[in-house]
Amino acid sequence: MPTRRASRGVGEAVAALIGLSVVVLVALFALISLPPHAPIKPATERLVAYPSERLVVYPSPTSSNVWCADNVGSTVVRVEYLKVLAPDFRELVLRASRNGICSVSSGPVVEPGSTLCVMCSEGYTVVSLITSSGRVFSVDPSIYVLRQTAIGVPMEPLLVGVYSTASLLQFISDPGTLVEGSVQTYTTLTQYLNISNVDVSSSLRASLVIVGVNPASGRLNLLIAGKALSGDSITVAGSAINLGAVAGVRYRLKIEDFDGTVMVGGVNAAPGVYPCYVNSGTQCLVSLSGVAARLTLYVANTSSPGSLGLDPYTFVGDLDGNGAAETLLVTQDFGVGDKSTVNDRESDKLYLDQTLKPLRLIFTQKPVNSSKYATAVLSIKMFYWDSSLDDIEDNDNRVVMRVGLYDPDTESFVYSVYLSYYELCRYRGVRPFSVSYIAKDFILYVPLEGQGKVYYVAIELYDPFLAEGGRNDAEVLIGLEYVGIVLGVRP
């Protein structure tokens, strides 16, 4: 029995050896039979260029949408792909040679010692360049931070395209607030004229004159307030109106896109605020002649309390000549006062006004999506003035401006911050009249509610004072010149 088993083992070994020999012979035959024009390419050929490639990628110091790459290596580099960040923060990988977003200067190949630049559409940011050998070269974060520090944080302006009351309507949440029920007053005004594209001339006394430039046309916007005296008149479309007969207690005259001459106190009027009665205690003579795109006249011939819209209290125009129009809420008419006197009065007449509804501006052109954004940083340039000589002794600390995120579905704020009287009264001189432009920044936190809930930035301007004896009777001028926003994404 052992002899048979040994013979069987020897036979199996011999058979295995023969089978292995056949496999080797077949493999050698296949190798020898390869055609001479198809040699095996060594794997090391691509590896030779790999360590020699070196690109330094950086944002262009002269253009915000250009990125460049210096070839500081020892071999030619071909850029095959671009990794970019879209405006909505999606990461995209694009072919360098053809795409509709970024273009590569001088083709995708860059020689040693040369520079390649990539120009992308506005809002797209180059993150990395990917070469034909598979290497990835990214923008140095420290260089990018230095560049951003140098150029600052880009803000998107919100208060744009405002040149007149009509253009302001794009931001006013409820246009009806311009017409009725928004201002409570001791001396009610009624609309006497509302006419467009008309010749106008006048000679009248005024307590307050505001002259601004319409940046779109270069013409003037005017707000004139006062009390008409005997001999004061205005001629509109060839018809003369005796203002002393219809506005002997009070008037407000708005003229927009005016092409003509304006004189205040016998001098050609430059853009600005002319606080005639505040500074001198008397009215000044205003003369004008020209053509107006819009003219509205509000008058009062008796002293009776009531309410009206915001239109006669709203002004739009560039006051300081920098090309940006200010949007004003103006409740001041005549004089100033302290804690023992009523502020806005003339003789025995009171001209006190208070907003029942604020001048609310909603910037719907910039939706704030709660799923994408966690914060909104708002920057505002503004000025403020009020008629109180005693400041905090004369008035309580009430809200004058409100800034926040507005829910269009509930028509309410979901997050807001305030500027109050005690904060703002520091930035003006009452008499003589003086104001200073101030910049205020606000951080608004976006509530995370639901999926993709949309909010809008909104601003409200108030005159929160009417009268409580001799206190809480301030009248105001509030001017907005710039509103800008930067949104912070959710992590």
Domain presence at residue 122: yes
Domain presence at residue 90: yes
Total number of domains constituting the chain: 1
Q: What is the reported pLDDT for 390? A: 86
CB burial of 466-489 (b: ≥16 within 10 Å; e: otherwise) equals bbeeebbbbbbbbbbbbbbbebee
The domain in which residue 145 lies consists of 44-152
Residues 102 and 17: their CA atoms lie apart, in Å, by: 64
Predicted TM-score (pTM) of the model is 0.73
Domain presence at residue 84: yes
Tens of pLDDT along the chain (491 residues)?
444 444 444 444 444 444 545 444 444 444 444 444 444 444 434 444 556 788 989 888 788 789 999 988 888 899 999 999 888 888 899 999 888 899 998 778 998 889 999 999 988 999 999 998 889 999 877 666 665 555 566 789 999 999 999 999 999 989 999 999 999 999 999 999 999 999 999 999 999 999 999 999 999 999 999 999 999 999 999 999 999 999 999 999 999 999 999 999 999 999 999 999 999 999 999 999 999 999 999 999 999 999 999 999 999 999 999 999 999 999 999 999 998 888 888 888 999 999 999 999 999 999 999 999 999 999 999 999 999 998 889 999 999 999 999 999 999 999 999 999 999 999 999 999 999 899 999 999 999 876 789 999 999 999 999 998 889 999 999 999 999 999 988 87
Backbone dihedral angles phi then psi of residue 267, each to the nearest 5 degrees: -125, 140
Distances in whole angstroms, Cα of residue 269 to Cα of each of 232, 259, 260, 292, 466: 19, 13, 11, 16, 32
Domain presence at residue 16: no
Residues 305 and 408: their CA atoms lie apart, in Å, by: 33
Domain presence at residue 132: yes
Domain presence at residue 450: no
With contact defined as beta carbons under 8 Å apart, do 366 and 356 qualify? no
Distances in whole angstroms, Cα of residue 143 to Cα of each of 102, 104, 130, 147, 280: 21, 21, 19, 6, 58
Output the six-digit token pair for 379.
């920057």
Domain presence at residue 93: yes
With contact defined as beta carbons under 8 Å apart, do 483 and 458 qualify? no
Residue 405's SS3 state is: strand
Output the six-digit token pair for 373.
């954004």
Domain presence at residue 179: no
